[in-house]
Amino acid sequence: MLQLTSCNRMLTILLILLSPYLLDDQKSRFLFHDMSAEVVDSNPYSRLMALQRMGIVENYERIREFSVAIVGIGGVGSVAAEMLTRCGIGRLLLYDYDKVELANMNRLFFRPEQVGMTKTDAAVQTLSDINPDVVLESYTLNITTVQGFETFMSSLKNKTFRPSKEGSGVDLVLSCVDNYEARMVVNQACNELNQTWMESGVSEDAVSGHIQLLIPGETACFACAPPLVVASGVDERTLKREGVCAASLPTTMGVVAGLLVQNTLKFLLKFGYVSPYLGYSSLKDYFPTMAMKPNPQCSNAACLQRQKEYILAKPARDAAANAKMEAEASAAAADVPLHVDNEWNISVVDDSEQENTGGTSSDALPEGLTRELPSADEFPKHSTYGATDTAVDDLEDLRRQLDALNAD
């Protein structure tokens, strides 16, 4: 510890001595250039690389290879972009048609002096200052127009950043838009490209939200079950009506952005459990989770095509899953006993165990604790990941959960 501190001090002194010789720009590039694990105060990545040392993430540095597209740079999208930038993501593609307004200042990220700038340009300005290592691309366009959609598609296909990548040029698309049409457009693009994406939303009363993982052919697409992803239960098409002013809270948007980027990191860096659907009710502090299978009667032709491919690939998937299960079974032999002082008998539930039993963390309450939620009885207990009988059941479960969210 002592050694560390003196090491920090020496580096700081060195930097102070060097600083007159470095231009502002060079100074930041000098500091950010290398994603090293060295524990010094001047290393912006040391606390992230510690995830690797602690065994949470196998290879954190891989984050440099990933491209993430964010559609909608509003209250959720801008915060998600900042989080990914600070995490050292390789490349961000930002899409929005809008300009920064004073009415956005109750949210995070944008500053009053950026009023009048396009949201994408203002975001690039702020994000490149925060971390010059991230490749930023700004697309000021409306993806629901014919031209906007074409540019959107071709930008997603651009593989210059990592030519060896399979599929499209991006690893994940994050939808952070505030209306139904734009979500359907993202859904269309991702179904056509076989592109995994995550959808996010905050209700117009600003007190609940959700995130959802959409893997074309494997999980329900946005057209498979349109009204159910809206936690408020309000038709999104009415949201943008003249004279209707939706509420917004920086807290709810920050929570949803945090859940979205957490799920993104887990998906990209392959750690923990990637939630297929995670709702958030701020009034009850309730987080329902859910998995949804695609609808074989989906109206989206590209979705049906992806469903067909997914079914055809089943034998290969089963073989891979079996091999993984056998490997895990032999590793599970070395189990650690619970701590003797554990008076509440709280235990950590293993991911693989969770999948096998079909339980969630909220189902598996430790003994000695009970639920105090007034409407807890209404929430079905079987309707979670790994226990998905049919798509219809899942949708009804989700509808019940969402109704419960909106009650009182």
Ligand X SMILES: *[C@@H]1O[C@H](CO)[C@@H](O)[C@H](O)[C@H]1NC(C)=O
Write out the residues near ligand X by the rule CB under 6 A: 91, 97, 135, 142, 144-145, 155, 158, 160-161, 194, 196, 215, 309, 344-345, 367-368
Does position 292 bind Zn ion by CB under 5 A? no
Q: How far is the CB of 223 from Zn ion (least distance, A)?
A: 5
Closer Cβ to ligand X, 43 or 275, answer by number: 275
Does position 214 bind Zn ion by CB under 5 A? no
Does position 404 bind Zn ion by CB under 5 A? no
Choose the contact partner of 305 out of ligand X, Zn ion, none; CB within 5 to 8 A by kind.
none
Q: How far apart are CA 274 and CA 218, in angstroms?
A: 14
Choose the contact partner of 368 out of ligand X, Zn ion, none; CB within 5 to 8 A by kind.
ligand X
Q: How far apart are CA 104 and CA 332, in angstroms?
A: 50
HEC readout, the chain: CHHHHHHHHHHHHHHHHHHHHCCHHHHHHHHHCCCCCCCCCCCCCHHHHHHHHCCCCCCHHHHHHCEEEEECCCCCHHHHHHHHHHCCCCEEEEEECCECCHHHCCCCCCCHHHCCCEHHHHHHHHHHHHCCCCEEEEEECCCCCHHHHHHHHHHHHCCCCCCCCCCCCCCEEEECCCCHHHHHHHHHHHHHHCCCEEEEEECCCCCEEEEEEECCCCCCCCCCCHHHHCCCCCCHHHCCCCCCCCCCCHHHHHHHHHHHHHHHHHHHHCCCCCCCEEEEECCCCECCECCCCCCCCCCCHHHHHHHHHHHHCHHHHHHHHHHHHHHHHHHCCCCCCCCCCCCCCCCCCCHHHHHHHCCCCCCCCCCCCCCCCCCHHHCCCCCCCCCCCCHHHHHHHHHHHHHHHHCC
What are residue 136's DSSP bridge partners? 92
Closer Cβ to ligand X, 158 or 357, answer by number: 158
Q: Give the CB-side neighbour count of residue 406, counting CA atoms within 13 A.
A: 15
Q: How far is the CB of 187 from ligand X (least distance, A)?
A: 15
Q: How far apart are CA 247 and CA 249, in angstroms?
A: 7
Q: Which one from 87, 221, 224, 245 is the annotated catalytic residue?
A: 245
Total site size for Zn ion, rule CB under 5 A: 6
Choose the contact partner of 221 out of Zn ion, ligand X, none; CB within 5 to 8 A by kind.
Zn ion
Q: How far is the CB of 333 from Zn ion (least distance, A)?
A: 42
Does position 298 bind Zn ion by CB under 5 A? yes
Q: How far apart are CA 334 and CA 336, in angstroms?
A: 7
What does the per-residue mask of binding to Zn ion show for 215-254, with x meaning CB under 5 A?
------x-xx------------------------------
Closer Cβ to ligand X, 53 or 157, answer by number: 157
Closer Cβ to Zn ion, 84 or 224, answer by number: 224
Choose the contact partner of 328 out of ligand X, Zn ion, none; CB within 5 to 8 A by kind.
none
Closer Cβ to ligand X, 131 or 383, answer by number: 131
Choose the contact partner of 223 out of ligand X, Zn ion, none; CB within 5 to 8 A by kind.
Zn ion
Q: How far is the CB of 246 from ligand X (least distance, A)?
A: 15
Q: How far is the CB of 81 from ligand X (least distance, A)?
A: 16
Nearest to 88 by CA among 251, 255, 265: 265
Choose the contact partner of 293 out of ligand X, Zn ion, none; CB within 5 to 8 A by kind.
none
What are residue 71's DSSP bridge partners? 95, 175
Pairing state between β 208-214 and 197-202: antiparallel
Amino acid letter, 311: I
Does position 303 bind Zn ion by CB under 5 A? yes
Closer Cβ to ligand X, 17 or 348, answer by number: 348
Choose the contact partner of 206 out of ligand X, Zn ion, none; CB within 5 to 8 A by kind.
none
Closer Cβ to Zn ion, 7 or 184, answer by number: 184
Q: How far is the CB of 225 from ligand X (least distance, A)?
A: 20
Q: Give residue for tokens 């929570």.
A: 255
Closer Cβ to ligand X, 181 or 378, answer by number: 181
Q: Is 245 a catalytic residue?
A: yes
Q: How far is the CB of 157 from ligand X (least distance, A)?
A: 9
Choose the contact partner of 303 out of Zn ion, ligand X, none; CB within 5 to 8 A by kind.
Zn ion
Q: How far is the CB of 392 from ligand X (least distance, A)?
A: 25
Residues contributing to the site for Zn ion (CB under 5 A): 221, 223-224, 298, 300, 303
Active-site residues, by number, are 245
